[in-house]
Amino acid sequence: MKTLRSFSLLAVAGIILSSCNNDEKNPNPVNEEELITRITLTFSEVGSPTSIEAIWGDPDGDGGNNPEVGDIHLKSNTQYSVNIALKDESKNPAVDITEEVEEEKDEHQFFFTDKTVSTPGYINYAQKKGATTPLNLEVTYQESDKDSNGIYTGLSTTFLTGAASSGKLVLTLKHQPDLKMNAPTPFGDPLLGESDIEIEFDVIIQ
Ligand SMILES: [Ca+2]
């Protein structure tokens, strides 16, 4: 079981991850508490060796210093393959939280949303067909990135930018135990469950 500990206006999240499916291979005790201290979004330009990163970091975890959030600078009319990596760098060695989300993908989904428009408050960019948002951006989940029920996980997505624009992009990791499987396939439902992560990025497309 994993629970959200807390998150502030723009950010996150100590989380508790269990290793319940993997006890024999994993010497860590069940319900060991882990923290997310670094989230890296890597944008790899399709058809080019160029990639950029946007990093959210909170080395001291919940409380204390505020997290630092990098802006996302993208080129107009460009396609990117986007991957999300989560780490707990408060441990030595650092813990790869991405792997743990993958192991629990039936309960987790990342959403890229815009809070500045819409009712009840979220447009999932991967579903935004026809919606009016400030960002000329289309996000598509990658087909290979589904859980056992055929619902996307969102660790890998494709971003397609349009004309120059700017706006806010909110990255949310929802924890939906016993809920995700009932969400509409394949896109899931960003309003179900609790947020393990909620980060607002400034996006500049130029
Ligand atoms: Ca902090």
Query: Per residue, what are the HEC states of the chain?
Result: CCCECCCCCCCCCEEECCCCCCCCCCCCCCCCEEECCEEEEEEEECCCCCEEEEEEECCCCCCCCCCEECCEEECCCCEEEEEEEEEECCCCCCEEHHHHHHHCHHHEEEEEECCCCCCCCCCEHHHCCCCCCCCCEEEEECCCCECCCCCECCCEEEEEECCCEEEEEEEEEEECCCCHHHCCCCCCCCCCCEEEEEEEEEEEEC
Q: Which pLDDT score, from 0 to 100, does residue 20 have? A: 39
pLDDT band at 127 (very low <50, low <70, confident <90, very high): confident
Q: How far is the CA of 39 from the centre of ligand 1 (A)?
A: 13
Q: How far is the CA of 90 from the centre of ligand 1 (A)?
A: 11
Q: What is the pTM of this model?
A: 0.81
Q: How far is the CA of 173 from the centre of ligand 1 (A)?
A: 18
133 pLDDT above the threshold of 90: no
Q: Which pLDDT score, from 0 to 100, does residue 126 have? A: 77
Q: How far is the CA of 162 from the centre of ligand 1 (A)?
A: 35
pLDDT band at 17 (very low <50, low <70, confident <90, very high): very low
Q: How far is the CA of 91 from the centre of ligand 1 (A)?
A: 15
Q: How far is the CA of 187 from the centre of ligand 1 (A)?
A: 32
Q: What is the pLDDT of residues 32-89, one digit of tens each?
A: 567 899 999 999 999 999 999 999 999 998 899 999 999 999 999 999 999 999 999 9
Q: How far is the CA of 67 from the centre of ligand 1 (A)?
A: 6
Q: How far is the CA of 13 from the centre of ligand 1 (A)?
A: 10
